[in-house]
Amino acid sequence: MSDSIISTMDLTKRFEDLVAVDHLNLNIEDGEIFGLLGPNGAGKTTTVLMLTTVIKPTEGNAVVGGFDVKRQPDDVRRLIGICFQEPKILWVSNSWDVLNWHAKVCGLSTQERKTRVKDVLESLNMWSHRQKKVHGLSGGMRKRIEIAKVLIQRPKIAFIDEPTAQIDVIGKHKIWNMIRELRDAGSTIILATNELYEADILSDRVAIMHKGRLMVCDTPKTLKDSIPGGDSVEIQLEKEVTKNVLEKLKAFHEVVDVVNIDPNRLRAYLNNVEEVVPDIMKLFLRSRMPVKSIHVSEPSLDDVFVHYTGLTIEAAEQEGPARRHK
Amino acid sequence: MVVPELADVYFEYYVAGVVIMMLYSTSVFIGYDIFEEAEHGVFEYLLSLPVSRRELVLGRSIGGGIRSFIFIGPIVAITLFVIGLATGMSITIAVGLKSGDRFDILMGVLNAFIIRLSTTMYPQVFVQDASQLYAALTTINPVTFASDLFRWGVGIEKYLTIAPMPLAPILGLTAFFFAFTFVGVTVYEKRLEGGGWQ
């Protein structure tokens, strides 16, 4: 892929008998928000650490921004910024010093530093806490400081690991908007998360990982549409549904299954719900069966995860990472 | 054995030795800092910053040096040499080991040898009495270089080990400084580039 800013070629990391990442092949395009999705232990963080040159691959390789992670790690590090899953902060410092020092190491001028640190701290509602020692802050506040590093740095490639863990709902929305703004300003964002909703609303494309392996990678919509009969429509009728109508409904090409919940209510599992619903409505109208209510639902990324792994994300988390047989 | 001439100056000799030991010990703390950083995860953060591993090690060495210098006070210019030497050694050992306990033990043993096989606390005449080999080792010990240079600097010139002063100890310390900094950078790069500490 010519627009790829990151490519991995059979990228693998083993820790003794534990296979954290197993022959991962990915292409991440310039300027996109790329979601790395999976339960804890899926290999997301290890992938991020390899792509950021913090740890070395056991096998395979990756090219980040045109530079080889094994042979040109210094060049890779000049392009990237990371928000770690667990805040990595110099605990004796206050918020302002932590961010100012980070910005300084990343090469920002004094004036630029002051402006950006102030702007980001204000946006994250942390300005009034800027002089407090980091070890005295709550978990959510520390996480805000961690993500502030990347937002201040504005790197060409930003790796953001669980950006909203421990953060309240209002804070989450604020951070999601700031991540989108970062992308719009020209950064490529790799978002590692186990929050399916977060990945769904933020990512241009999503890669689902399980036991260190890539299960599937595409846009959230394509992934959802890839589940046969993943959409559903629940229809409440004013009178009992007839056998004839039921047969006609089942005859739709997109309809996979129809279940009678009660005599006046049915649920159809189908594909491309938004395209079929008008035809379904026409069918009921022509059959003189007035519709009382209709509820349409599309699959979520949870359903996509279940479809491709056979497990819910909670069950996958309990299974843990893959181990090699000795 | 009592050496009357030495008894007169031993207090000064001892105080000078204590200063050098303090200097040495504070410089060695950098190794403990590395373990603390690994424990708190700050290590990963430092490794992800847009600086080379070489700059990182030199920064840590110089940072450790300045801290020691502040702790001990502006004694003499040799401080920076001692610091460079001890922090380089400490970084090398810290990143070479994966366990803080092992680091503790190894540093304890090393410190015992380094301090005892130097003239920090005892003049070489005493060491010579114990063993010719030990006495020979004191003459190539960087802590002896630092002690001699410090004593020469503050005018306690009786029982100096190294000659000619001050050139020989300065050269010795410089050689050790560069050697350990080089080893520190090399080991740090090899062990840490790519998560060797994990």
Residue B47: pLDDT over 70: yes
pLDDT tens for A212-248 read 999 999 999 899 888 877 888 889 999 888 888 889 9
Q: Is residue B58 part of a domain?
A: yes
Q: Is residue B198 part of a domain?
A: no
**How long is chain B?**
198
Give the pLDDT band of residue B114 (cuts 50, 70, 90).
confident
Choice among A260-269, B1-10, B129-138, B160-169 with the minimum mean pLDDT: B1-10
Say how many CB pairs under 8 Å bridge A and B: 54
Inform me whether the C-beta atom of residue A305 falls under 8 Å from chain B C-beta atoms: no
Mean pLDDT calculated for residue range A24-34: 96
Inform me whether the C-beta atom of residue B193 falls under 8 Å from chain A C-beta atoms: yes
Residue B51: pLDDT over 70: yes
Q: Which fold has domain A4-224?
A: Rossmann fold (3.40.50)
Confidence at residue A89, expressed as pLDDT on a 0 to 100 scale: 76
Confidence at residue A104, expressed as pLDDT on a 0 to 100 scale: 94
- Chain B, window 89-108: residues with a beta carbon less than 8 angstroms from a chain A beta carbon: none
Tell me how many domains chain B contains: 1
Mean pLDDT calculated for residue range A24-50: 94
pLDDT tens for A46-58 read 999 999 998 889 9
Q: Is residue B102 part of a domain?
A: yes
Inform me whether the C-beta atom of residue B59 falls under 8 Å from chain A C-beta atoms: no
Confidence at residue B7, expressed as pLDDT on a 0 to 100 scale: 63
Task: Please tell me which of the candidates B44, B49, B50 has its beta carbon nearest to residue A84.
Answer: B44
The ipTM estimated for the assembled molecules is 0.80
Neighbouring CB atoms inside 10 A of B137's CB total 16
Minimal CA–CA distance to B18: which of B167, B185, B143? B143
Confidence at residue B177, expressed as pLDDT on a 0 to 100 scale: 76
Q: Is residue B197 part of a domain?
A: no
Q: Is residue B180 part of a domain?
A: yes
Give the pLDDT band of residue A13 (cuts 50, 70, 90).
very high
Residue B194: pLDDT over 50: no
Confidence at residue A267, expressed as pLDDT on a 0 to 100 scale: 87
Furthest CA-CA distance within chain A: 76
Confidence at residue B79, expressed as pLDDT on a 0 to 100 scale: 46
Residue of A nearest to B196 (CA): A55
Put simply, the answer to whether A91 touches B40 (Cβ < 8 Å) is yes
Confidence at residue B73, expressed as pLDDT on a 0 to 100 scale: 59
Residue type, B106: L
Give the pLDDT band of residue A43 (cuts 50, 70, 90).
very high
Q: Chain B interface, mutation test: which of A49, A51, A54, most B Cβ atoms within 10 Å?
A: A54
Percent of chain A with pLDDT over 70: 98
Neighbouring CB atoms inside 10 A of B157's CB total 12
Domain boundaries, given as residue ranges, for chain A: 4-224, 228-297
Enclosing domain of residue B122: 4-192
Choice among A128-142, A162-176, B119-133 with the minimum mean pLDDT: B119-133
Q: Is residue B71 part of a domain?
A: yes
Q: Is residue B31 part of a domain?
A: yes
Contact A144, A122 (CB under 8 A): no
Residue type, A53: T
- Chain A, window 64-93: residues with a beta carbon less than 8 angstroms from a chain B beta carbon: 70, 73-74, 77-78, 80, 82, 84, 86, 88-91
Task: Please tell me which of the candidates B40, B48, B50 has its beta carbon nearest to residue A54.
Answer: B48
Q: Which of left, alpha, beta for A181 (phi over 0: left; psi -120 to 50: alpha)?
A: alpha
Contact list, B50 vs chain A (CB under 8 Å): 74, 77-78, 80, 105-107
Put simply, the answer to whether B48 touches A56 (Cβ < 8 Å) is no
Residue B138: pLDDT over 80: yes
**Secondary structure E strands in chain A:** 4-15, 18-29, 33-37, 59-64, 67-68, 80-83, 157-161, 188-193, 205-210, 213-218, 231-237, 255-262, 265-270, 291-297, 322-323
Choice among A188-197, A213-222, B34-43 with the minimum mean pLDDT: B34-43
Put simply, the answer to whether B193 touches A88 (Cβ < 8 Å) is no
Contact list, B36 vs chain A (CB under 8 Å): none
- Bridge partners, residue A158, by sequence: A81, A189
Which residues lie below 8 Å from residue A172, measured CB to CB, with a gap of 6+? A164, A198
Minimal CA–CA distance to A148: which of A35, A137, A76, A32? A137
Mean pLDDT calculated for residue range A1-29: 90
Is A228-297 assigned to CATH 3.30.70.1560? Answer: yes
DSSP 3-state assignment of A18? strand
Contact B188, B56 (CB under 8 A): yes
Give the pLDDT band of residue A203 (cuts 50, 70, 90).
very high
Choice among A5-14, A164-173, B18-27 with the minimum mean pLDDT: B18-27
CA distance A196 to chain B (A): 26
Mean pLDDT calculated for residue range A116-123: 95
Minimal CA–CA distance to B25: which of B62, B64, B59, B77? B64
Inform me whether the C-beta atom of residue A282 falls under 8 Å from chain B C-beta atoms: no
pLDDT tens for B60-99 read 777 776 776 676 655 555 544 554 555 666 666 666 665 6
Choice among A55-59, A143-147, A278-282, B3-7 with the minimum mean pLDDT: B3-7
Q: Which residue has the higher pLDDT, A15 or B188?
A: A15
Helix, strand counts (H, E) of chain A? 12, 15
Contact A116, A103 (CB under 8 A): yes
Confidence at residue A94, expressed as pLDDT on a 0 to 100 scale: 92
User: How much is the mean pLDDT over chain A?
Assistant: 90
Q: Which residue has the higher pLDDT, B80 or A190?
A: A190
Contact list, A105 vs chain B (CB under 8 Å): 49-51
